[in-house]
């Protein structure tokens, strides 16, 4: 069932089975606030089972680009198509994992620019072994909603048809 994230009242809805429920809720609320402030778009998430084609596209992309296949449990997925200045319509897909991290794919639909995968770790969440093995370095960012977020990214080099 779809859930519109409220960044003013942080709720653990959808993350009840995660040991990082509160931290993930803060991370998700931080994303919701960004999308509302930047694009005036509500941030809506879905259980993974409700968006299998979108999740398959996301998994294919991260596997093709960096060989990433997470053993972690994906809980929620979101998709927003927004107008990003200089890039036109851009697809933004977020996946939140029970183990306290999220990945987002930034993929322009109208021209090949600013393609990237962002990786964010919730406060106190360990670096997934799949990312540790690839030697990613993480920068720290403070958030009133999520505490300390550690983040990194990689550029997308290939072309991936949308589902």
Q: Is residue 160 part of a domain?
A: no
| Beta-bridge mates of residue 84 | 88
Mean per-residue pLDDT for 38-67?
Answer: 97
> Nearest Cα to 126, choosing from 97, 157, 154, 160?
97
Number of domains in the chain: 1
- C-alpha 115/C-alpha 60 separation (Å) is 15
* Predicted TM-score of the model (pTM): 0.95
Q: Is residue 82 part of a domain?
A: yes
Question: Sign (positive/negative) of CA torsion 92, 117, 56, 121?
Answer: negative
Chain mean pLDDT for the chain: 94
Q: Is residue 38 part of a domain?
A: yes
Q: 114-149: per-residue pLDDT in tens?
A: 899 999 999 999 999 999 999 999 999 999 899 999
DSSP 68-91: ----S-EEEEEEEEEEETTTEEEE
Q: Is residue 23 part of a domain?
A: yes
Question: Domain containing 112: what range?
Answer: 3-155
Q: Is residue 163 part of a domain?
A: no
What strands, in cross-sheet order, belong to the sheet with 74-84? Answer: 3-4, 44-47, 74-84, 88-97, 101-108, 116-121, 147-155, 139-143
């Amino acid at each position: 069932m779809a859930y519109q994230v409220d960044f003013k009242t942080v709720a653990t809805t959808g993350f009840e089975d995660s040991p990082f429920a509160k931290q993930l809720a803060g991370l998700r609320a931080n994303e919701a606030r960004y999308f509302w402030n930047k694009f005036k778009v509500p941030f809506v998430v879905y259980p993974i089972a409700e968006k299998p084609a979108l999740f398959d596209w996301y998994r294919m992309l991260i596997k093709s680009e960096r060989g990433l296949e997470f053993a972690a449990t994906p809980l929620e997925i979101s998709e927003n198509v927004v107008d990003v200045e200089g890039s036109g319509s851009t697809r933004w897909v977020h996946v939140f994992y029970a183990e306290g991290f999220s990945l987002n794919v930034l993929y322009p639909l109208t021209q090949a620019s600013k393609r990237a995968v962002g990786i964010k770790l919730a406060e106190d969440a360990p670096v997934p072994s799949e990312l540790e093995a690839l030697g990613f370095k993480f920068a720290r960012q403070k958030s009133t909603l999520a505490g300390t977020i550690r983040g990194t990214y990689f550029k997308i080099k290939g072309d991936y048809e949308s589902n």
